[in-house]
Each structure stands twice: as C-alpha cells, then as structure tokens.
Structure 1
C-alpha cells in the first residue's frame, strides 16, 4: 500500500510539472502572445477558409473572403460580420471576390475580384458599391495614402494613382518579381513576400533585407501602432529591425487571415472560424 501511495504521488508531481512554465508558474490552456495569456473569443464560424481579414474601425465590421466552392476547387466570395453577430452576411456585388483593403481614415473599403476593383463608403449601410477599375483580376490589396494591388496571374504590384483627371494603375518597378503580399508600415518601410520568403525595403531606398524564417505567409497586417505582423501557417511573427531578425510572438495552428480591432487586439482566422484574442489573467 505504501509503495502505491508513493507511486501515485510521483505521478501527480509529474503531471503538475507538465503544466508549469520555466519559472515554475502553471500555464493556462490557450494562446500566448508575447508570453501573455489571451482568451480565444469566436466571433465567426461555419466558414470555409476565410482569408483577407479587414477591420472597419468605424462600424466594427470585419470583412473577409472565403471559399464557396468544393474542397478541390477555389471559388471565392466576400462576406462580413457585424458587431455582436456571429452569423456572417454576403456581399454579392463583387464577382469571385478575393481581396479587401480599408482606408479607415476616410471610411472607405475596397473590394477586389476577378473582374476588377470596387469601393464603398462605410458611413452608411445603404451606400452603393461602385466599380472603379475594370479588366483586372485582383489577388491582394493594401491601402496607405494610395491603394496598392497585386494583379493575377502576373502577381505584379500596382499603385492606383490619380493623374491629370484620370486614375490609372502604375506598375511598381522597385518590386519587379512575382509577389504574394505587400504592405507599408508606420516607418514607411515596404514589406512583401515572394516564393523565397519575406523582404523589407527601407523607406526612400531600394535596399532589400531578407528575413530568415517561414517561406510561406498568408497575410501581412499593420497594427494600429504601425507595426507589421506576418501570419505564417502556424504562427504570428514580427520583425526586429535592430538586428533584422524575425520573431514569433504567438503559436497559432492553421492561421489564414489577420487583422486588428480598435483596441489593437488580434483578430485571426483558421480554416473554419474567425477568432479575437483578448488578454486575460489566468
């Protein structure tokens, strides 16, 4: 009997140790961002691979693109979640809608699909969705000062620019190759991904910096403080500009999209849900 009690005690100590961190404190079940526990709050469900998250800071809407085809095909549609509603609504005006970008300063959202780019003013729910560019198949978009988009299948980067009462797409020759994502951070540094990984081009230069790490990324998102975040398949990363390294701040399995709400909380998507991470004591 005494040997059994000792054995049980050893087992309990072992189990307790597996739930402890290196400093001896027990760790909670959940997601840690920069070693701080965050509670997962599901705000959208029943979706098939929601990509391209974009957060409307005025109306607290979350726009996204998701697959409406079969598992072996890609056919996309743009949806959105309104504040307090877990059931999404569908935006049917954009054919094969895949890309989204928001200008939160002017309350304008841009939608990209297989037949061009559309925009909508967000101040009223009944504002019209108007087409602003035709004959382009849009892969990805980003807004800062101007609207940038990546065309498909060329995967080239363009800036949508006003010139002499005309609005034309201008090829950004500083990035000459095929790319997958593009963004500009608070320092006006440019970030992009290609088939070899993640790069930064410093503001007002053409100097490239390559970041060792994942080769495949699914999103680049700038938070409310101007800090770029990168979603790999199984984690969220930021860059350390002092030593030009990539740092993993959260381990999240099968992440697809990334955004930030008004309070700079992380919003991300996995294959079937959209989740908000809220810091919490445990």
Structure 2
C-alpha cells in the first residue's frame, strides 16, 4: 500500500512539473515555450523590435472607461517594467528602420523621427496627420486616420513630404510589403494581395478582420486575427492558421526571428523547444 501511495505521489509531482514545462504554444506544429516579457499593460498594440538595443516598442491604452487614448512605451531586455515615451501626443503607431538606425513614432499631431544611436533626440518630420499605422520598406509608409489613406514619405530639399499613394484608392486598415515586393492591404471586406509589378487585387479567402500584418526577418508576411496567426497558401490564395493564440493584439520578430506577440495585458516571446 505504501509503495502504491509513493508511486502516485511521484506521478502527481512529475505531472505538475511536466504541465508547467509544457505551458506554451504550437507554431507550425512545433512546440514553443512562452517567455513573458512584460505584464499589466492595457491592450499593447503596434509591436516593433529594436534589434540594436534589444527593445520591444509598443503603444497601449491610457484612456479611462470608454475613452481611448494611447502612449508609446518600450521594454528592455531583462526588464519587465516598461518605460514611457512621453513626448508623443496620443502616440499610437511605431516603425523601426533597423538598417538605417531610425525609429518613427506616429501620433495625433504627426510623425516623429529618432536615431537609435542618440537617445531622446526626437524631431517632428510630418505635421497635420493623425497617424493610424506605419510600415517601412526602403521608405516610410503610413495610413492616416480617420480617412484611412496610404501615404509614402519622400525626402525633399526642404524636408520630408507625405505623398498620397493613389494606386491604393480604397480606405485601408493595414499595409505591408513582403520580401518578394508583393503588397498586402486590409479593408472592410478583408485581405488582398497585390503582386509585384501589377495593380490587380487578389482576394485572400479566410477571416476578414485583422489586428496587424507583420513581415519577419526573412521577408515572410504574417497576418494576425483576433485568435490566431496566419500565412497565405499561394497555391489557392487562402489563409492557413499556424498558431492558435486567443485575443492576440500585436506581433513582431526579434533579431533571431523569434515570434513576439501581445494579448490584452502581456507581451510574450515564443521560444522553440521540446515538451517532454
């Protein structure tokens, strides 16, 4: 009888250890352990990764009750507490140009630029736009609010000029360009792909509401719905879910191409490993 009790005790202990070790998410059918980077944040959106200082930037809600107001903040490697960028009015959008050591912040009064090498030397480069979303591919692109139109930033002699991209004639919510120079837009009817060198929209079948579009370090584009991460099957232009994540808000990739995502209160890194 004592042996049976002892075996049961060992089994229970091993089961508890195993369940804790196996707390993670499967991505492409491979187990990934969850590494919690930060907690107690109200709806972190717009994740972006600084590969030089190993910081995760994001925007989050600071409004009370039904009011939506946002701040931009970041967390540093090894520190779960976040630091606030308090010089961006209603800061919501973030884009990092790791190649050229620049970071951009979009708020209700325009776009600000800062060097990744010089802390807090922030300058406004675009005025008169309430910025909804931003994306960098050679040049900075942004979507304004509430018009939801796409602009590209062009450097001119007198400064930076926002040029409306009229080939994207519809109102859009997100915009991205993959490693093959194909463009992607989302609007009220869903997700569309525009192949490089064409203007034709290819409708991508699947879900039609998205929280974000992100491109990894290899140029692969990922799409976040409310409860999962998707990629495109380019044979039949359908979305394939590669990870089931409830209430996902944002996505980015670190310098090693690890997934970093957010839910309503946390920022989490996924690390590939075994579940034994």
Q: Is the structural similarity TM-score above 0.5?
A: yes
1:245 aligns with 2:238: yes
In the TM superposition, residue 165 of structure 1 has moved relative to its aligned partner by 4.6
CA distance in 2, matches of 1:198, 1:43: 30
In the TM superposition, residue 71 of structure 1 has moved relative to its aligned partner by 3.7
1:210 aligns with 2:207: no
* Residue of structure 2 in register with 1:113 after alignment: 107
* 8 A contact 2:47–2:94 mirrored in 1: yes
Structure 2 unaligned regions, length at least 5: 1-21
Aligned residues: 256
* Residue of structure 1 in register with 2:224 after alignment: 231
* Residue of structure 1 in register with 2:36 after alignment: 42
**Superposition TM-score, scaled by structure 2 size:** 0.90
CA distance in 2, matches of 1:268, 1:83: 15
* Residue of structure 1 in register with 2:98 after alignment: 104
1:91 aligns with 2:91: no
Structure 1 unaligned regions, length at least 5: 1-27
* Residue of structure 1 in register with 2:267 after alignment: 274
1:23-56 deviation per Cα after TM superposition (whole angstroms, max 9, x unaligned): xxxxx55310000011111101110000000000
1:138 aligns with 2:131: yes
In structure 1, which of residues 170, 181, 190 is the aligned counterpart of residue 174 of structure 2?
181
CA distance in 2, matches of 1:71, 1:107: 38
* Residue of structure 1 in register with 2:255 after alignment: 262
**Partner-residue secondary structure (3-state), 1:217:** coil
1:135-165 deviation per Cα after TM superposition (whole angstroms, max 9, x unaligned): 1100000011110000011000000112455
RMSD: 1.5
* 8 A contact 2:149–2:171 mirrored in 1: yes
* Residue of structure 1 in register with 2:26 after alignment: 32
**Superposition TM-score, scaled by structure 1 size:** 0.88
